[in-house]
Amino acid sequence: MPNDKNTISSGKQNSSLSGKVKQAEQVLLPDLDVNLERLHRFLGGGEDIACRTLQHRSFDNTRYALLYIDGIVEGTSINTMLLSLLDDANNQYSDSVSGETPDLYRHLTDRSIAIGRLSEVSTIEQAGYAMLEGCTVLVVDGCLRAIVMDTCGGKTRAVEEPSSQTVIRGPKEGFTENLRTNTSLIRRIIKSPDLRFDYKVIGHQTRTNVAVVYLEGIAEQEIVKEVHRRLDKIDIDGVLESGYIEEFIQDRAFTPFPLLQNTERPDTASAALLEGQVVIIVSGTPFALVAPVTFVKFFQSSEDYYQRYDIATFLRIIRMASFFISMLLPSLYIAITTFHQEMLPTSLLISLAAQREGIPFPALLEAFLMEITFEILREAGVRMPRIIGPAISIVGALVLGQAAVQAGIISAAMVIVVSFTAIASFVIPAVNMGIAARLIRFVLMILAGTFGLFGIMSGLMILLAHLCGLRSFGKPYMMPFAPFVASNLKDVLLRVPWWAMRKRPLNISSDNNLIREGTGQKPKPDQEGA
């Protein structure tokens, strides 16, 4: 979380939520007991609110209190700070002015508190919200200000390998639910003074911390301003995951295609920053958002840049082919077997006709039954406990498929088509793009069962027109194909070697800083050893 004074008091949003009018903030009073009672009342008086009162002998035994919420603070920092304060409270300082509380306040901030980050607040609300962030508040009797110390901590999940975006070669670190951990992971990769973190607080009840990350001079400033503008417009009571943010800031609501990329990998987020994109990190989730994004980005993996360029190109072609197979294969089977049998070789047509003999359903209904069954099995495998989930999904698919074929309800060819379609959908690196292909698949199946290949082509034309009309933070979704940008084709379906990608993607990064590597980077044989 951000820990400066401006951040602690930021995030107050103008809201008409439930028609409530915000009450004026309560300023701190000179009476310590009154301030403690008001703070406890503001926070609901839970048992997890810890309060430790001390007295300083050098200032006429003036009282001061430490307040924090147990469980969200770092216990080691609290204990270290308490030891230093207790030791300081028992010492006699000859340079102090006895009886003047402001001197005690300055003494504590300048000489006693063994914490790196300090800030000041002057209202009960600011102090309470700081405690909810995991900070410790020190209130001095007779003083109208309170000291806020950064002691955020508690038990959090450690940095682990990403579970949804695994790679064979590459870094094994993944984002966690802790915002400070996630920003530090990016800091460790990009050690540049141009790296910027702009913090916001979104959600009236959850007060979720959000970080907007970009590289100044590389990211286009208009995109950065647009990201801030859309985030500032969000007016909601709670944000629990980055998906909340995504739905509020995407360019179009009614589209099956994702308009923002989400990633669990710090290296992927860092690579996006180096290309001029903006990363949005939300506290409480390991998935960061990347904007703007294009259609082809969802078929690229971070591992593409760690393997040889020829291997990466081959894998990208496989992924794109798998996307079209996942989207089109069932509908093509329905159209050909229903309307266009003349397109099949005679031997294959006879084999399919023999398999379908006795099947009571048309090809469209047969495909729908199998697809819906597989979607149910897929969802069951995800929701079941991890130990038995894969076994249930695999055994269920094998048993149900075999039993359906033997019972004469489903043809064997349809089982093969649906199974291969499901396998192809798992090849797509981005899960949300795979889901989009699954949704479009059902629409194309209906068109194929109604109009044949003409219906499929009509659906694809409408889909292509829809894709060309999409924008991601004002940038064309189908770039570099529409509009055509020749210089960006070096890293789309094909990936040229690193020494040939001298410029960053055009129309995404700032036009003033497109060069990312020097000239003459192509490897050359050693002339002396030749």
**Domain ranges in the chain?**
5-14+25-149, 179-293, 309-475
pTM, to two decimals: 0.85
CA distance 429 to 425: 9
pLDDT digits (tens, 9 = 90+) for 150-207: 888 877 788 888 888 888 888 999 999 999 999 999 999 999 999 999 999 999 999 9
Strands (E) across 150-265 are located at 195-202, 208-215, 261-263
According to DSSP, the residues that pair with 289 across neighbouring strands are 262, 280
The dihedral sign for the CA sequence 85, 86, 91, 93: positive
Label residue 388 exposed, middle or buried (CB < 10 Å: 0-12, 13-18, 19+). Answer: exposed
Q: What is the structure's pLDDT at 395?
A: 66
Q: What is the structure's pLDDT at 7?
A: 40
CA distance 239 to 247: 11
Q: What is the structure's pLDDT at 127?
A: 93
Residues 6+ apart with CB under 8 A from 242: 262, 280, 282, 285, 287, 288, 289
CA distance 397 to 411: 15
Are 263 and 288 within 8 A, CB to CB?
yes
Work out the number of other CB atoms within 10 angstroms of the CB of residue 387: 7
CA distance 495 to 308: 9
Q: What is the structure's pLDDT at 279?
A: 97
Q: Which stretches of the chain score pLDDT less than 50?
A: 1-22, 96-102, 529-530
Go through 420-456 and write b for each residue having 16 or more CB atoms within 10 A of its CB, e for each that does not: ebbebbebbbbebbbebbbebbbbbbebbbeebbebb
Are 78 and 136 within 8 A, CB to CB?
yes
CA distance 179 to 211: 8
Q: What is the structure's pLDDT at 100?
A: 42
Percent helix, strand, coil in the chain, to 5, is 45, 15, 40
DSSP summary character for residue 294:
-
> SS3 letters for 9-46?
CCCCCCCCHHHCCCCCCCECCCCHHHHHHHHHHHCCCC
Within 13 A of 27's CA, how many CA atoms are on the CB side?
Answer: 6
Residue 235 φ then ψ, to 5°: -130, 95
Q: What is the structure's pLDDT at 187?
A: 94
Q: What is the structure's pLDDT at 85?
A: 85
Closest CA to 86 of 118, 52, 117: 52
Q: What is the structure's pLDDT at 18?
A: 38
Q: What is the structure's pLDDT at 361?
A: 87
Write the DSSP string, 163-184.
SSS--SSS------S-HHHHHH
**Radius of gyration from C-alpha coordinates of the chain:** 30
Q: What is the structure's pLDDT at 109?
A: 82
